[in-house]
Amino acid sequence: MSHTGTFWGIGVGPGPTGYIPLAAVTALQQADLIFAPRATTSESSVALQCLSGIAVAPERIREIEFLMDTDRTVLSEHYAQLAETIAVELRAGLNVAYLTIGDTFTYSTYGYILAALQQQLPGLAQRTFPGITSYAAAAAAMSWPLGEGKERTLILPCPDDAESLRADIESHDIIVLMKIGKRLPWVLDLLRELGIAEHCAFARRIGLADEMLSADVGNLNATDAMGYLATLLIRKTPREQRHT
């Protein structure tokens, strides 16, 4: 009787070495294979960079290209293919770990991979380890509280138009803006128009060689700042001083 291996989903980073739960490190040490996604537009896996300093035998690592596409049909087929690639190893009885940047279930493609795997391998033995979100890492890097007292915090992917974002800002105290991409220029313009840019912070590629941190986005150059792995922390009003 064949034995199917165990699947582990592991959030790493973002950025600084060591941003990984101890329980996940144990799983990495037990894994026969470690799949590390690499964007087709990148020369190396950022997820692997986040493992720097953790002893992992190179022969156990397998980089897999991850397609960056907005077409959901294309992505659906891509996730199914990735899941099948992993399922082949699990059916062979190997224990497999899959890396993802940040938290495993916060706007992460990992959820799609796991769902596809569970469809192909019903009853799959699996465990998912939580990771550190990009906004938690950004807040820690700049000592920027994500919510104090009864402040209302909203976490969302960047809207496609300024008026939608304006409404979100007006109805919340703090906005965590993810998946900004090429929208950054008009987002910064809106924050300046609202007169709140000095209360807002920006982070990109935290802990990596080309890290960018800005605790005041009033003079942030959108052209220089645009790119992958960016997060914007928006505060509608100045932080209240609660100490005496």
Q: What percent of the chain has pLDDT over 90?
A: 62
**Over 90: is that where the pLDDT of 122 sits?**
yes
Euclidean distance between CA atoms 22 and 150, whole angstroms? 32
Euclidean distance between CA atoms 42 and 19, whole angstroms? 22
pLDDT at 1: 39
Verify that 188 and 121 share a domain, yes or no: no
- Written as six digits, the tokens of 157 are 């992917």
242 found inside a domain? no
What is the average per-residue pLDDT within 86-108?
94
pLDDT at 87: 95
Euclidean distance between CA atoms 46 and 176, whole angstroms? 22
Question: Are β-strands 7-12 and 212-214 bridged in parallel, bridged antiparallel, or unpaired?
Answer: unpaired
CATH of the domain at 157: 3.30.950.10
38 found inside a domain? yes
CB 158 within 8 A of CB 190: no
Please name the residue ranges forming H helices in the chain: 22-30, 46-49, 72-91, 110-120, 134-142, 162-170, 184-193, 222-225
Q: How confident is the model at residue 64 (pLDDT cuts 50, 70, 90)?
A: confident
- Residue for token digits 């100045």? 238
Verify that 73 and 119 share a domain, yes or no: yes
pLDDT at 70: 63
If one compares 231 and 109, the residue with the highest pLDDT of the two is 231
- Assign 93 to helix, strand or coil: coil
1 found inside a domain? no
Give the tens place of pLDDT for each residue, 72-87. Answer: 777 788 888 999 999 9
Verify that 124 and 229 share a domain, yes or no: no
CATH of the domain at 64: 3.40.1010.10
Paired strand residues for 155: 176
Euclidean distance between CA atoms 241 and 176, whole angstroms? 21
Give φ, ψ of 34 to 5 degrees. -125, 115
Verify that 199 and 97 share a domain, yes or no: no
| Length, in residues, of the chain | 244
**Over 90: is that where the pLDDT of 187 sits?**
yes
124 found inside a domain? yes
117 found inside a domain? yes
Euclidean distance between CA atoms 6 and 77, whole angstroms? 24
Which domain-ending residue is among 109, 129, 149? 129
Q: What percent of the chain has pLDDT over 70?
A: 94
The whole-angstrom distance between residue 238's C-alpha and the CA centroid of its chain comes to 27
- The residue segments making up the domain with residue 225 are 134-235
If one compares 59 and 73, the residue with the highest pLDDT of the two is 59
- In the chain, the amino acid numbered 39 is A
Verify that 124 and 192 share a domain, yes or no: no
What is the average per-residue pLDDT within 186-191?
96
Verify that 20 and 120 share a domain, yes or no: yes
What is the average per-residue pLDDT within 18-22?
86
- Written as six digits, the tokens of 134 are 């990009």
Which domain-ending residue is among 129, 151, 167? 129
- Written as six digits, the tokens of 193 are 């128009």
**Over 60: is that where the pLDDT of 40 sits?**
yes
21 found inside a domain? yes
pLDDT at 41: 66
Verify that 114 and 184 share a domain, yes or no: no
Give the chain's domain count.
2
pLDDT at 3: 85
Verify that 164 and 65 share a domain, yes or no: no
What is the average per-residue pLDDT within 184-213?
92
pLDDT at 74: 74
24 found inside a domain? yes
